[in-house]
Amino acid sequence: MRLTRVAASGVALFGAATAQEVTKYYDPTTNITFSSITHANGVSYRIALPIDSPVADAIFQIVSPNDFAWCGLAWGGHMTQNPLSVSWPTGQTTGQQAIVSSRFAYGYYAIPQPYDSATYTYLRGTSANATHWQVTARCQGCTRWSSSDGDFNIEVLSETVLAYACSSVAPEAPASNTSAFNVHEQFGIWGHDLQAGKSARADFDEWVRGNAGAEV
Ligand code: HEM
Ligand SMILES: *[C@@H]1O[C@H](CO)[C@@H](O)[C@H](O)[C@H]1NC(C)=O
Ligand SMILES: *[C@@H]1O[C@H](CO)[C@@H](O)[C@H](O)[C@H]1NC(C)=O
Ligand SMILES: *[C@@H]1O[C@H](CO)[C@@H](O)[C@H](O)[C@H]1NC(C)=O
């Protein structure tokens, strides 16, 4: 089965890509508790989940040094056949300073397509400064999906395999979430402890309520 094969290759890559660990991380800007990993390239990927969810629901945060002009999170641990949250700074000095593009790749030799089954809501902590850019968003539809590989629901797992990809080359139209972009310069696959970022539904809902529509 594909998941098993990917998980096995993830273990192999894990040692090469990073020696960092997944830890519980409290973000003082949003009050959200995430499970977080910072890879050797300096980019952090953070995930918060409600313990019980009737729908696919998650909050994620990507924090990247300005060395990278886009970084994406692959929720199924590989490039194809899973939701991709591709994020980048818009280059604007006011308004929306970083965005997410919802994508799904059907193969390795084409740009991932827009993916309508995931809905994103930007939260406080979506910003850019002289050294970093970051996105904090709710994603409804990232943690459950169906593809030619089968039906997946990672919310019920305590640990899962995730993947990232990053490039220093900016998307063609950085202010647009449908922009074209080129292949990554780096990618990595790791085992992510989801449990460390699971919280009561009431807390999760409060984080969404308290941080949505805020000055990003
Ligand atoms: C124009 C866009 C893209 C192109 C042309 C592209 C192309 C490729 C190619 C040719 C490979 C296999 C060769 C290799 O191992 O280096 C690959 C692997 C990979 N890509 Fe992409 N890619 C793109 C975007 C993305 C995005 C947005 C993500 C994640 C958000 C991603 C994640 C990965 C991962 C994790 C792998 C490792 C193999 C796997 O586990 O599936 N790629 N990509
Ligand atoms: C975070 O928690 C502090 C202390 O409880 C509170 O004052 C603040 O309004 C909260 N911020 C958000 C974004 O919820
Ligand atoms: C771009 O943003 C719009 C408005 O929020 C959204 O409806 C659309 O799904 C997004 N497209 C992609 C590819 O993320
Ligand atoms: C810039 O943003 C990063 C990521 O959020 C943060 O760690 C850093 O403290 C910020 N720098 C300044 C000068 O505010």
Ligand nearest to the CA of 70: 1
Residue ranges of domains in the chain: 23-215
Q: Which residues of 51-86 are buried (b: 16+ CB within 10 A; e: fewer)?
A: eebeebbbbbbbbbeeebbbbbbbbbbbbbbbbbbb
pLDDT < 50 stretches in the chain? 1-19
Is the C-beta atom of 132 inside 6 A of ligand 4? yes
- pLDDT at site 216: 60
Distance in angstroms (rounded) separating the CA atoms of residues 171 and 129: 18
Contact of 50 with 195, CB cutoff 8 Å: no
Measure the CA–CA gap between 41 and 191, rounded to whole angstroms. 17
From residue 113, alpha-carbon distances to 82, 106, 178, 201, 214 in Å are 11, 8, 9, 31, 29
Mutate to test the pocket of ligand 1, among 71, 73, 108, 139 (most ligand atoms within 8 A of CB): 108
Whether residue 111 has its Cβ less than 6 Å from ligand 3? no
The CATH architecture one would assign to domain 23-215 is Sandwich (2.60)
pLDDT at 160: 97
Q: 131: CA distance to ligand 4 center in Å?
A: 7
Ligand approaching nearest to the C-alpha of 135: 4
* CA of 177 relative to ligand 3 center, distance in Å: 6
Distance between CA atoms of residues 130 and 148, nearest Å:
42
Residue 66, ligand 4, Cβ within 6 A? no
| CB-based pocket (< 6 A), ligand 1 | 72-74, 78-80, 84, 86, 103, 108-109, 111-112, 163, 165, 181-184, 187, 189
How far apart (Å, rounded) are the C-alpha atoms in residues 87 and 25? 20
Q: Which of 85, 102, 179 for a ligand 3 pocket mutation test, highest count of atoms within 8 Å of Cβ?
A: 102
Q: Model pTM? A: 0.92
Evaluate whether 121 touches 212 at the Cβ level (below 8 Å).
Answer: yes
- Yes or no: say if 88 and 62 are a contact pair by the CB < 8 Å rule: no
Total H helices, total E strands in the chain: 2, 16
Task: Quote the pLDDT of residue 8.
Answer: 35
Q: Is the CB of 33 under 6 A from ligand 2?
A: no
Whether the CB of 134 sits within 6 Å of ligand 4: yes
- Which amino acid would we find at residue 26? Y
179 lines ligand 3 (CB under 6 A): no
Q: In this predicted structure, what is the pLDDT of residue 213?
A: 83
Nearest ligand, CA 136: 4
Torsion of the alpha carbons at 152, 156, 159 and 165, rounded to the nearest 10: 40
